[in-house]
Structure formats: structure tokens, C-alpha cells
Chains A and B, each alone.
Chain A
Amino acid sequence: MNGPRGQCAISLTVNGEAKTIHAYPMERLLDVLRQQLKLTGTKEGCGEGECGACAVLIDGSLVNSCLVPVLQVEGTMVVTIEGLEQNSRLPKLQQVFLDCGGAQCGICTPGMILATHHLLARIPKPSPEEIREFLAGNLCRCTGYAQICEAVSKAAQPEVAR
């Protein structure tokens, strides 16, 4: 698994599919997802873990993929925005985002939706303060967060499935 200087083989699950990636161990997970696996839904906004546009789930945990060396995802389950969709019907969370105006230019949206998914999995009915705290790692320049926070509140209602 860990050879001499050069690429290595990394086995993991991405969006439910088993994959073996050949990459330099210090390639960023963000770049491997986008360039090798062509999963371009995860975005680069800052390259320093500040904007959250690159957020993915690793074993259910929200992380900034621009800060993860790909070697460290060996044996893990990675979920990107592409993996949140079920069948071809828009999951309720994304529909609510759309209805509330939570997406304007859309570049922060994949990370924002993953952060929301991560929040609601831990706190099914978050308070407005909890919503703002949990989303504070995802910067949005378009919305002022107002309609995003409303979308999250609405998505947390019991009749909305996750």
C-alpha cells in the first residue's frame, strides 16, 4: 500500500461505489475527486479550509477536502454532493433549498447542503443559533445566509424527509 516515492493505490468507497485510486499520497482529496473521479460538484473557493465550498463527508463527518491528503482516506466512505441524490428525484433537502432561495450563484451550495445534511443528522431540530453555528464554516457571498438558514429550519420539520 505504501510504496517508495511515487503514486500509491488507495481503496475507498465514494458515493457508495468501491474505488481504487492511484495518486500521489499528498494530492488533495479535493483534486482527486474533481480531476480523477470527475466529481466536479465539490468546489475550490480558497484552498485553506476557510470557505467550506470543498466540504465532503468522510465516514459521515463533514470535512474540508482541500485539507485532506488523499492517502488518509484509505478505507473510508466518502460522500460528495453527487452522492446525496437518490434515484433522479431531488431529495427534500435540496428541494427546500431551492424553494427558499438558498442557492443564488450556487458555488457554495454543494458544501452548504452537505453541511446541512451533517447538521440535521446530529441535531434533527436545530435552533436558529445552532444552524448559524453549524453553517459558520461555509461562506456565502450572495445570500447573507438569511434564506439558507430558513431552508435549513424548514428542512428540519418532521414532514420533510432527509
Chain B
Amino acid sequence: MNSEHIVGASVPRKEGWDKVTGRAQYIDDLSLPGMLYGATVRSRVPRGKIKKITFGPGIPWDEFVIVSAKDIAGKNCIALIADDQPCLADGVVNHPEEPILLLAHSNQHILPKAVEAVAIEYEPLPALFTIEESERLYNVIWGVDNTFKRYLVEKGDVDSVWKDADFIVEGEYTTGAQEQLYIENNGVIASFDPIGGLTLWGSLQCPYYVHKALIKLCGLPENKVRIVQTETGGAFGGKEEYPSMIGGHAALLAMKAGRPVKIIYDRMEDMVATTKRHPSRTRHRTAVSREGKILGGEIEFVVDGGAYTTLSPVVLSRGTIHAGGPYYWPSIRIRGKAMATNTPPHGAFRGFGAPQSLFAMERHMDRIAATVGLSPIEIRKRNFLKTGQTTATEQTIQEPIDLEKLLDRGLELSDYRAKKERFRGENQSATCKKGIGIAAFLHGSGFTGSGERYLASVVGVEGRADGRVRVLVSSTEFGQGTKTVLCQIAAETLGIRYEDVEIAQPDTDGVPNSGPTVASRTVMVVGKLVQSAAKGIAQTLITAGLLRDRYSPEEFRFACAQYVKRYSQLKCLVQYEAPPNIYWDDEKYRGEAYAAYSWAIYIAEVSVDLATYSVTVNDFVALQEVGKVLHPVLARGQITGGVAQGIGYTLYEKVIWQNGRMQNGQMTNYIMPTSADLPAIRVYFEELGNVHGAFGAKGIGELPMDGPAPAIVNAIEDALGMPFNSIPLLPEDIFLTLSAHVPPKECRLPQGVR
């Protein structure tokens, strides 16, 4: 087989056969002998002191294993960035559904009744539920001022631009929470024995995150905790940090029970108790010249982090850095802040802050266009970042990206101009108004700034006794194609057959820490390390005299088998090294924020039915530059899936809150699109390559989440001639705006700005 055609070809998914035959084993398909089932007793108030816990009648409590905060041998926290989130509430609760007690029993059917039978009396404390309530500080619910984190990004002299501005354009844009809604609910099985230690199997993205959390929680040494990822039915960030919580619960029960414990959430518990996308509020104030050039501006980007820190500082970071979009800002001031509220902590969800701030930026660009009297096309072209220019964090764009040309291609593919013209005419008399809208954006791949250096990922590639090769990473497969692409990379690098490369199950006992499977870093960063490690074992064989510089797949196989027979192990471990010219200042938040950016133009065509006020997306063009496409079918699948989630985020998925608790925690009333709701999503790629990524790849997984919302809402404004600045945008919202002719929400100036 010609190894040239592995990377860049749509090779079979490594675990595909198991998935299409129903053989793939997800956590709920597994059980252990003597296993108990676990369940969680959760807070029913948003904030309060726990006064009394009563175990009600009718339940054989002596048959249960019961765990409370007192049973925690280590530290009662879920270690992540800060240690403020308890594993189990100890005397006080700070959000609805906060875990308080754990129960285990051999009969899973008795558990729901038992959970209901635990009566908890609270002394309620005043609670806060929105960004605004939190900012006003009538109550302090976290730290000294309800603020988990702040960032300030400054470039140039913003305060001097206002006097020269021909236009000052202001806007406020808000986004709601979004549930990841993986079809497989969170689940784990924990098993403990005093000699061997703790083992946890589960549906998760980051085995080493769970490892770090459990050694601290259970007070166990590193080599006595083992985390194994099982086949994972969707994650999207919802299984990045949350598994440490459910894993911690199962571990505590297993340690007390002396028997394995399985905890699987049902859909309602998963929806109401676990993380969601951070709600946000962005305020823009922009100085613009008569010619439509951005002179400078201020952006305030605020996210609602829920009750505990969890990942909010990092979500805030990405959202803050992306807040200026793919535009050149001569000067800019971006203030980011993450506020605490008494809701279940919000967490990672594909895009991770960027969908929120990019929604605002792209809506604001259309507003600027309208104010200045230019088209959405022209305003963007006059302000796009060009090669050699710097971003808001003063990172110089090195690669030859031409956004104007990319936009032109997008306009052609979507037939934008002709449609816009036609709709203008047809809308005069139509009961179904049509519109078309643009979003231009970028997405940084990998961890921000010094993040990758801090992660110091390690990757291994080993040769096996049968001559085949195995990739050793903690990077997980959850549908996006990790296993397939990393094996492609190894095979292509070594010049051997794809079929002769396998990948180890992510098991902290067996694989090194290649970092979390997040931030669109797997192919780009981890893939690059796989390349290096693969080269390493080839070099070892060559140095050992078993292989010449040029060899066939069969010769490699033979040499590999020989080496392992002789020396019993053939393995190469490599560790991430930051590229020499990447500079980042964590304090000033300035420098090379990301090793690479992917770029995109998304164009949505919608129709709005004026009888029902509902919006249908009729056509969607997703055009992006992603470095190199390593697997066309997988790459396309990432885009169509991300766009579908983006359409859901914009038009369908609304979390209905009441006193901090999600009221619509069922698939029947939290609405995600079905196949009958989505258009054929048209996907196109451009490839510039990327020196830092494996085979030129950049990140792709999260990019498609950033564009749909602004493209669609821009299209709706085009259709109706009225601006909407808040998502989700349901028919009811469109109806209320149309019937009241409510003017666009005016921005309130952030404090301290003239």
C-alpha cells in the first residue's frame, strides 16, 4: 500500500465496526461482580445552610451505603483550577442540585425512592441568579465581590480615539445557557481494594483530570488511582471536568462499601445537575471613521460562571481573547469578567467562550455597517486582519490568510448577492420573509498562551512483538475521530499500513498524559507529538541496524518484531516543547495567544414565517481554512455537527430557569433539532497549512460552533428589518419584538468609560 495516501484519505474509523454493530461497550453496558448502584441526594434550594437531614420511613436504610462529606479521606473538593467546589456539600449549599449525600444499594430500582425519602431542612440564604444581580453586590455569594476572574487586554491608546470618531457605535448582546446534550448520559463505575487502589471506568474526555481530582479527594497516592476511559457517547466539553465529580462520588461509595459502584445519571439528572455553556453579556463601544474603519473600541465581556470557579477563568480567557473577532483594531480595551451566581456551575462546551463573544462581535459588525451606511460585506472587508497585522493581544498574523478572498468565495458559494436582491423584492408581499446573513470569525487552536507549555504533554509510540505499532495517548475518542486520525498520522509518518497501527485505550496505568482532549488541540498538538514519537521508534530501529533509511511496510514490521524479541521493548516517549518564537505574557495578557488560528466565513439563509414567527434555516454555507484536512469525511462531520449545535444554540435550545434550577430538563421540552429541522449543511475547506501542526493541521472541532448564531441572527435582521441581540431567539421572542416594535436594546456604558 502506498503510504502517501493515509493522511488526507478517509480511512475507516478505527472503532467504527463496533459502533455500527452495537458491539461498542459504553459504561452502562459494563458491570462488575458484586456491583452496587449509586445515587445522589441533591439540594432543593439555591443557597442555604443545611439544618437537619432526616432519613424517612419506608426505606430499609440499614441496607444502604451512605456517604457524606465526613467520609472524605482527602480534601473535600473537586480539584481543578481552584479548590472551591466541594465534592459533597458540608453544611452549606450554593446551588440547586448541589450534591449532599450519596446512597448505594444492590437494587437500582429502590434508589429513586430512597433519594426522595431523604428530607433536608435548610435555612435559606439570599441567592443571586443573573449576571446583573451578581454585579450589583446586594449579596456576596463568592469571594469578596462575586467575581471569579477578571482579565484586561489593552492595545494602543483607546481613550484617544473617541474625539476623532465620525461614529460611535454601541451595542449589548446576550447569550443563554446551552446543554451539551450528548446522547449518552454521564456514567462511571468505581472499584476499590485497599492493596490495589482505586480504579474508575467512565464516559469522559480527560482521564488525567479525573486522576488529579481523585488523588486529592480520596487521599490516595498517584500510583493507587487508575482512570480508564470507556467508549464515550458524545461529550462536547460536558465530560471535560464533570466526570471528576461523578467519579469522585462513585469512588467514595466504592471505598466505603468495599464493592464496586456504578452511577449512571438519567436524562433529567444529567440536564439539571451538570454543566452547561456559560451565559454571557457583551457590551461594545466602537469608534468608527466615515470610511467604515474601526479606529478603536471598548468591549466588556461577562460570563455567568454559576456557583463555583470550575473552568470559568479559562472560558473567560478564550472569550476575551476572541472578542475582537478577525478584525484589525488599532487600539482596543477588552475587559473580561466571570461572575458567580447560585446556579449549577457552568462549564466547558465546544467553543468555550468564543461562541459567546464572537456572536456579539459579528452582530456588532452588522450594526456598525448599518450606522455607517455600508454593506455587511464592505464593513468586514475594510477591517479584516491582514498578514503582518497584530491582533488585540498584539500577536502578529504570520500566515498568508486572505479573508477578503475567503469572504468572496463564501459569497459566491452561497449566491449571497443575488439572493439578497431577490429577497428584498419578494419580501415586500411575502408572508414568509427571507434573509441572508454573514459571520466572519476565527478560532485559536490549542491551549491559550503558555497553556501548552504548562500542560507539557507526553506522547508515546511503541512497537509490538507482532511488528504492529501502538499509539499511547490519554487523548480520548468521543466521536470526533481521535483514534482514527492519530493512527493515520503514525502510519503515514512511519510509512506503514494504517491497519498495522492501533491505539491504546486511555488508561492512566498504560498511557502517558498527552493533556486533555479539549481546545481543538488533539490533531494539531498531540498529533505532532505522535509524529515525533513515531519517528523516534523508526530511528531506534535504524540505529540498531535493523532497518535501512528507506524501507517497506513489511521490512518495518519484521524489524520491529525483531527488536522487541531482542530487547523486549520498543518505545519512544516525547514531550511537548513550545515553538521557539511563541511569546506570551500572562500578566499583561499579551503576545502569541495561540499557535495557530483557523478562519471561517459562514453564511445562513433563513425564512421567517409571519404567521407563526418561526425561523427555518433554508441553506447554510460553512467555509473554513483549517490548515490541512487530514480526513475529509471526519472533518466534514465535525463541521456539520458543530453547525447543527450552533443552529440549536440560536433557534431552539433554551434553558428555562426558575430560582437557579433548570425547569425543562427533558428531551421533550429542551429542544434540539431533529433531522427534519436542518437544511443540508454545505461544507467547504481551504488549506493553508500550519507549521506547528501534524501534517499542517490546525484545530477544527470547536470552530463550527462560533459562526452559526451570528450568521443566522444577521439573516433574520435582513429578513425582518429589525435587530435581535439575544439568543436563543425563539418564535415567541420574535413575536414580542415585532408586535411591540421594541427598539434595539441600547447599551449601557460600562463604568469608567466616557
A and B touching (C-beta < 8 Å)? yes
- A interface list, Cβ under 8 A from B: 34, 39-48, 50-51, 53, 80-82, 84-85, 90, 94-95, 97-101, 103-110, 113, 128, 131-133, 135-149
Contact, CB under 8 Å: A45 / B19: no
B634: chain A residues at CB < 8 Å are: 101
Residue contacts A-B, CB under 8 angstroms, 15 given:
A45-B267, A45-B667, A101-B634, A105-B478, A106-B18, A106-B20, A106-B233, A107-B233, A136-B674, A136-B676, A139-B672, A140-B675, A141-B183, A146-B640, A148-B675
The stretch of B22-30, B242-250, B376-384, B547-555 that contacts the partner chain = B22-30
- Give chain B nearest CB distance to A29 CB in angstroms: 16
Contact, CB under 8 Å: B668 / A50: yes
Could you say which of B28, B637, B678 contacts A101, with CB atoms under 8 Å apart? B637
Chain B interface mostly: loop
- Give chain B nearest CB distance to A149 CB in angstroms: 7
B254 close to chain A: CB less than 8 A: no
- Give chain B nearest CB distance to A88 CB in angstroms: 10
B3 close to chain A: CB less than 8 A: no
User: Complex: how many Å from CA A48 to CA B666?
Assistant: 8
User: Complex: how many Å from CA A50 to CA B181?
Assistant: 13
Could you say which of A50, A103, A146 contacts B20, with CB atoms under 8 Å apart? A103
Once A104-B480, A132-B675 are accepted as A-B contacts, the answer to whether A147 and B637 lie under 8 Å apart by CB is: yes
B411 close to chain A: CB less than 8 A: no
- Give chain B nearest CB distance to A27 CB in angstroms: 10
Contact, CB under 8 Å: B17 / A90: yes
- Give chain B nearest CB distance to A47 CB in angstroms: 6
Contact, CB under 8 Å: B636 / A101: yes
Contact, CB under 8 Å: B181 / A141: yes
The stretch of B75-83, B531-539, B641-649, B710-718 that contacts the partner chain = B641-649
Contact, CB under 8 Å: A42 / B22: yes
- Give chain A nearest CB distance to B745 CB in angstroms: 31
Could you say which of A97, A108, A132 contacts B183, with CB atoms under 8 Å apart? A108
- B interface list, Cβ under 8 A from A: 10, 12-13, 15-26, 28-29, 180-185, 231-236, 266-267, 478-481, 633-634, 636-637, 640-645, 666-668, 672, 674-676, 678, 680-681, 683
Contact, CB under 8 Å: A43 / B26: yes
Contact, CB under 8 Å: B641 / A104: yes
A147: chain B residues at CB < 8 Å are: 633, 636-637, 640
New contact pairs (8) apart from A43-B26, A105-B19, A106-B231, CB-CB < 8 Å: A94-B20, A104-B480, A105-B182, A106-B20, A106-B479, A107-B233, A138-B675, A145-B675
- Give chain B nearest CB distance to A10 CB in angstroms: 19
Q: Which 5 A-B pairs have the closest CB atoms?
A: A41-B22, A107-B233, A105-B479, A106-B19, A144-B644
A106: chain B residues at CB < 8 Å are: 15, 18-20, 24, 231, 233, 479
Could you say which of B17, B21, B28, B180 contacts A41, with CB atoms under 8 Å apart? B21
Once A42-B22, A104-B641, A113-B20 are accepted as A-B contacts, the answer to whether A139 and B13 lie under 8 Å apart by CB is: no
User: Complex: how many Å from CA A44 to CA B478?
Assistant: 17
A85: chain B residues at CB < 8 Å are: 21
- Give chain A nearest CB distance to B225 CB in angstroms: 26
Once A43-B233, A50-B667 are accepted as A-B contacts, the answer to whether A104 and B675 lie under 8 Å apart by CB is: no
Contact, CB under 8 Å: A80 / B672: no
The CB with the most chain B CB atoms within 10 A, among A34, A107, A109, is that of A107
Contact, CB under 8 Å: B13 / A103: yes
Could you say which of B28, B183, B235 contacts A51, with CB atoms under 8 Å apart? B183
The residue of chain A having its C-beta at the shortest distance from the C-beta of B644 within the complex is A144
Contact, CB under 8 Å: A45 / B183: yes
B17: chain A residues at CB < 8 Å are: 90, 98
